Amino acid sequence: MTFQNMPGQPHIAYRGNELFSEEIRLSDLAKEHGTPLFVYSKGAMLSALGAYERGFSGRNVQICYAMKANPALGVIQVFAEAGCGFDIVSGGDMDRVLAAGGHADKIIFSGVGKTRAEMRRALAAGIGCFNVESEAELEVLSDVALSMGLRAPVSIRVNPNVDPQTHPYISTGLKGSKFGVAHERVLPTYQRAAQLAGVRVVGIDCHIGSQITQDGPYLDAVDRMLDLVEAIEAVGVPLHHIDFGGGLGINYNGDTPPPADLLWGKLLAKLDARGFGQRQLMIEPGRSLVGNAGVCLTEVLYLKPGAQKNFCIIDAAMNDLPRPAMYQAFHQIMPLKPRADAPDTYDVVGPVCESGDWIGHERDLAVQPGDLLAVLSAGAYCMSMASNYNSRGRAAEILVEGSQVHLIRQRETIADQMHGESLVGRKRAG
């Protein structure tokens, strides 16, 4: 019996000739719930969170799970029960957190385009902090809060102009990015915030990008942030907390991001050296808490030999797993029951009518129609970006906890998809 851990995926392992997540044989789940099927390991999420907690032990920190990575209620619940706060980017995100048992005062609200209605609802709920992303937003937020007789707790999101050395679509802290307030405008923005009757300055915030695999960009950002904190406090605006955002990468394909505890050890040493070690800290990790806790199970529908390429056509597609099409991202693809046959090289593609609908290029696989595959590292930014393109229902989601299986989202039906639609002038059939 072999028991081989997948790189970066501590909860996934072959036992004998079968792939397991925690104590659950994945092929059993596929048989019972169908495919495509997302399976998340609660143990893997908690162990990823544990690395952050170890790194921050003895410090004053609030970990706010960036729920855009995976907003399933059952996933939010895991982090809420573990004491996390949440980084949200819409009113809908807030509703999900509250529905899953999260506390409003541990919510921070990021995003460049908050509407007045979202601000009103978040103020009424009593969220912990608005991460304000522009001077214009600051004025509107102050007006909205005043109209409710409240003061909005704010932190200004700084664009520190640091290159996170990741895919351009997920770099957010560079000068040309739409995110945050430009470094040189930060001080005047805080001075303005201090004058506004509808806001109360509570902190400062930055987020430089996602899937960051080196510590250098973080160390640069910390220095730039601390310089700003000193400058802002020197003009008489005290900052209660410093929020360093999220962005730590995961191992998709031999990537070697620093483990969260080691990274934070280094960053905290820098904070200590500059006298900020006991300050209230916030962080907003998403991918590094859930990415490698999830897999997407899929069935091989057809093998299609071609003149130039062989295609392995699976029942998951870009609507379920959008990252390869959007960012040329790599996800490992493993058989649930490996065959002893010699592998062939395939492009693994889905049924969607787009040439961009690929999940893996040039993969060596020994497969036959009907075989089941697992697409790894599918816990973050897969279901959260899934769509109904080609009228495909979104997949079901399972949370595994030891030998227990919890169905946390049912497969979306066509009735779910057509809900709210109507024909003009007559009733719909069926």
Tell me which residues are annotated as active site.
Answer: 353
CB of 371 to ligand LLP, least distance (A): 27
Q: Are strands 333-335 and 372-375 parallel, antiparallel or unpaired?
A: antiparallel
By CB under 6 A, residue 66 contacts ligand LLP: yes
Q: Which is nearer to ligand LLP, 36 or 285 (CB)?
A: 285
By CB under 6 A, residue 375 contacts ligand LLP: no
The answer to whether 322 and 390 have CB atoms below 8 angstroms apart is no
Out of 96, 287, 331, 363, point to the residue binding ligand LLP (CB under 6 A): 287
CB of 429 to ligand LLP, least distance (A): 38
CB of 197 to ligand LLP, least distance (A): 27
Three-state DSSP state, 297: strand
How far apart (Å, rounded) are the C-alpha atoms in residues 84 and 87? 10
CB of 99 to ligand LLP, least distance (A): 21
Q: Are strands 294-305 and 310-314 parallel, antiparallel or unpaired?
A: antiparallel
- Output the CA torsion 321→64→200→267 (10° steps): -110
By CB under 6 A, residue 294 contacts ligand LLP: no
Q: Which stretch binds ligand LLP (CB under 6 A): 145-153, 282-290, 387-395, 406-414?
A: 282-290
Out of 96, 241, 323, 363, point to the residue binding ligand LLP (CB under 6 A): 323
Q: Which stretch binds ligand LLP (CB under 6 A): 185-193, 281-289, 394-402, 408-416?
A: 281-289
Query: In which element (H, E) is residue 349 found?
Result: strand 344-349
The answer to whether 409 and 71 have CB atoms below 8 angstroms apart is no
Out of 77, 134, 211, 251, point to the residue binding ligand LLP (CB under 6 A): 211
The answer to whether 233 and 273 have CB atoms below 8 angstroms apart is no
By CB under 6 A, residue 285 contacts ligand LLP: yes
Which amino acid, one-letter code, is at 367? V
The answer to whether 299 and 333 have CB atoms below 8 angstroms apart is no
By CB under 6 A, residue 170 contacts ligand LLP: yes
Residues in the chain: 430
Helix H segments across 105-256? 116-125, 135-147, 186-195, 216-234
By CB under 6 A, residue 110 contacts ligand LLP: yes
How far apart (Å, rounded) are the C-alpha atoms in residues 60 and 268? 11
CB of 381 to ligand LLP, least distance (A): 3
Q: Which stretch binds ligand LLP (CB under 6 A): 26-34, 203-211, 251-259, 406-414?
A: 203-211
Total residues in contact with ligand LLP, by rule CB under 6 A: 22
The answer to whether 315 and 36 have CB atoms below 8 angstroms apart is yes
State both tokens at 421: 């639609």
Interaction pattern, residues 173-202, with ligand LLP; x per rule: CB under 6 A:
------------------------------
* Paired residues of 305 in beta bridges: 310
Q: Under 8 Å CB-to-CB from 330, ≥6 apart: which residues?
A: 252, 253, 324, 360
Q: Which is nearer to ligand LLP, 131 or 142 (CB)?
A: 131
CB of 190 to ligand LLP, least distance (A): 19
Residues that bind ligand LLP (CB under 6 A): 66, 68-69, 87, 110, 170, 172, 207, 210-211, 245-248, 284-288, 323, 327, 381
